[in-house]
Structure 1
Amino acid sequence: MADTLRRLANTSSCSVVQQKLEAWDKDYHVISCDQNLNRCCELLELTSRVQGQLFTILSLTAQEGGHYAGVDTLKSRLLPWLSTCFTMATTSVSPDTSLNLIQDNVEKDRKLQELSLSHESDMFKMEDRLCSTRLELDSVKQKLADAKFELDSTKNKSATILLATEDEILHLKAELQDAYEQMNLYKMKMEDYDRQVRLLRDEVTYLTAEKTILQERLMRSRSPSPVPHCSRGSSPVRAESPARARLTSSARRTRLLSCFSELYATERLEAQSLLRRYVDDLETVQRILFIAAVESFQAARLAYRQFKLRVRKTLSPTHVGPESLEDSVADYIVRNLDLYDVQTSVNDVINAMNVNPRISFPPEVDFVLVSSFIREMCRTAFSMQTLEPPLDLAFSTDGELYSDTKYRRSYDSEFTAPLVAYHVWPALMEGDTVIVKGEAVTRRGTLWRSRSRSRSPSPVRSRSGSPTRTLVSFNETQL
């Protein structure tokens, strides 16, 4: 029994139970429920083992005291305690083995506690690292969000600056275009002023020369000298006096070129807008206006020749003076351009357009719609015939080879096509020199289309009995 008691004392099982109880008490509110139950079971197992050893010592001590020794103590203390239904199964192992198991269990518990503590410390360290990593991740996310916000703000600022720059560029381009237009307007005004100044200078020169001639005639008529009996061709002053037509030819030429350009830019577009109300095809409208311009020049040339013949016939019997008969005729025509019967030329142009096979028009309307445009073309063409040399239109035909010296291509042309499909505006010639370019449309397959169009019958020829045409023509004739 003494050996068993010694071994039990050496194992210090009670101190181990006390340490476990103190450790459990400290960690009770920290660990989980399963861990608390495990520790309680461990304490129960350890206590049951200690109690088993104590019961063994109790039995040995009772055997050493004799058959009746310790009966009172057992009756008074052990039996009441056992009456509480506390039973303990006897161990199937020897006391030494039990003590060894207790020691091993204590050692394992100690190691397990150390491992648990180290694991908990590692867990705490990992949690600290995880928290720090999360904080770093949050800071990186915040930096990324700030960078994205700055990038978006930079993009918005750049887009705003780009839009503002584009608006400024467009505004500057518009201002530059306005400045160019104003400059061109000022140039045109300056040219007009220069032309007017030259015209006035020519007028002054002519009036001065005429004044000198009249003064000399007046002096010769008052003087009894035989100078008036001399032939008029021998007077040096009269022989050197120029005619008005030659003096004003340059100024009138400039003015007529300006009128020709204005007809293209203004009158033609107004007539084109008027015709588009009745004809949807732009090509047909442009062909009508081009043929109207060509026919106007032809009618004006014919009218000029007839007018010139009448003036020559009228002036030839009574012509006297220093200048030739042709100069006198030209001077008379220039002074009396208002005697030109422009309405007759307008009617001739409309009649020629009615029988032209290249153009057609709706039967319910008439070419009289563009009579205003034809009238201005006839007046300009008639005035151009009074120049020296006269201005005339260049010869043109559909399907001709395109020439950069005579025409410029329209915006809807095929710029690689070599042939002219149709003409929009004629070129103006001075002799063999082109002084104002015309406008033409170039397209491929022009020759085939022009042939097929020329072979098709024109619907205009069957419109001679149109009531609108007859009424309008009658009113124009009365006017």
Structure 2
Amino acid sequence: MTFHISFRLARSRSPSPRRCQSRSPSPLPLRSCSPGRARLTNAARHARLVARFSEIYTQERLDAQNLLRTYIDDLEMVQRIIYVAAVESFHAAKMAFRQFKMRVRKTLSLTYSGPESLEDTVLDYIVRHEDLYDVQASVNEVIRAMNINPKISFPPEVDFIMISSLIRELCRVAFSMQTLVPPLDIAFGADGELFNESKYRRSYDSDFTAPLVVYHVWPALMENDSIIVKGEAVSKRGGEMRNFFKISNEVPS
């Protein structure tokens, strides 16, 4: 199997979808909050979100992979695209959550005088009003980031908007995971890292004795410093890894 990484910093194809007008400047509706709701429901929401993350891996991920395979023959590139989509979705959702939380805190701090801490009240509000999250804005941010990622390439007729349903579900789950105590996040992954059995499962076409990760298929899910859901990675050795490092050394700084 020959590994190659194509670089395309400028797209000649159709531009990313125009950013939808964000709802963030609008005032927050001060609907009633139930003090302590976030913490009282934390365990149930944790279980639901972890299960949903696994469902996305087994369902939406494969749907996106099958769709991309109709345009891209290289399975490695298709899997790289999906992995980058997952990473960028979590990044965009976490940024959106921080901004949303700042707005809520600023609004509630003007009038809040309840028995709960302001921080708990802010979290309760977000849990009750997750429908105010502008997920489409995050989807657009993800697609823009993917368009300039040097590790993925694709034919001109392919637009990442075709996997927007996968990106949207990942953004929603990632945003909701930030309302947990502690929040959940995906683990950092780098091509060429040592394969960690507690962090990843090997893909079916991996060399099961190889010590290094060639590329990632799906990120692992973490709570604090502990892996709670394994990701998936491809490991190889010998000539294929030498080819990988040759390509990596040619990456412009």
Q: Distance in 1 between matches of 2:245 and 2:180?
A: 36
- TM-score normalised by L of structure 2: 0.83
Letter in 1 for 2:232: E
**Counterpart for residue 37 of structure 2:** 244
- For residue 231 of structure 2, what is the aligned residue in structure 1? 438
Question: Are 1:362 and 2:152 an aligned pair?
Answer: no
Deviations 1:172-208 (A, max 9, x none): xxxxxxxxxxxxxxxxxxxxxxxxxxxxxxxxxxxxx
CA drift of 1:295 comes to 0.4
Query: For residue 311 of structure 1, what is the aligned residue in structure 2?
Result: 104
Residue 294 (structure 1) aligns with: 87
> Offset at 1:361?
1.1
Q: CA shift at 1:320, angstroms? A: 1.4
Q: Secondary structure at the match of 2:232?
A: strand
Instruction: Confirm whether residue 350 of structure 1 aligns to residue 158 of structure 2.
Output: no
Return the letter of the residue paired with 1:428. Answer: L
Q: Which runs of 4+ in 1 moved over 6 A?
A: none
Partner of 2:205: 412
1:259 — aligned with what?
52
Q: Distance in 2 between matches of 1:307 and 1:453?
A: 38
Task: State the SS of the aligned residue for 1:257.
Answer: helix
Pick one of 119, 135, 147 that aligns with 1:326.
119
Residue in structure 1 matched with residue 216 of structure 2 by the alignment? 423
Q: State the 1:417 CA deviation.
A: 0.7
CA–CA distance in structure 2, aligned partners of residues 395 and 305 of structure 1: 20
Q: Is contact 1:358–1:453 with CA below 8 Å preserved after alignment?
A: no
**Larger Cα Rg: Structure 1 or Structure 2?**
1
**CA separation of 1:296/1:384 partners in 2, compared to 1, >3 Å: closer, same or farther?**
same
Partner Cα distance (2:155, 2:37) in 1 = 47
- 1:183-194 pair list within 5 angstroms: none
CA–CA distance in 2 between the matches of 1:316 and 1:322? 13
Structure-to-structure mapping, 1:110-125, within 5 angstroms: none
Q: CA deviation at 1:308?
A: 0.3
User: Sequence identity, in percent?
Assistant: 68
Task: Return the TM-score normalized by structure 1.
Answer: 0.44
Contact residue 304 and residue 385 of structure 1 kept, 8 A: yes
- Structure 1: any 5+ residue segments left out of the alignment? 1-209, 211-241, 458-479
Which letter maps to 2:102?
L
Could you tell me which runs of 5 or more consecutive residues in structure 2 were left unpaired when the two chains were aligned. Answer: 1-33
Following TM superposition, by how much is the alpha carbon of 1:455 offset from its aligned partner in structure 2, in angstroms? Answer: 3.0
Q: Distance in 2 between matches of 1:401 and 1:339?
A: 41
1:406·1:438 contact (CA, 8 Å) conserved in 2?
yes
Is the 8 Å Cα contact of residues 421 and 450 (structure 1) preserved in structure 2? no
RCO higher in structure (CA 8 A, sep ≥6): 2
How many residue pairs match? The answer is 217
Report the equivalent of 2:29. none
Q: Which amino acid aligns with 2:60?
A: E
> Which residue of the partner structure matches residue 14 of structure 2?
none
**Which letter does structure 2 place at the counterpart of 1:283?**
E
Bigger proportion of residues as strand: 2
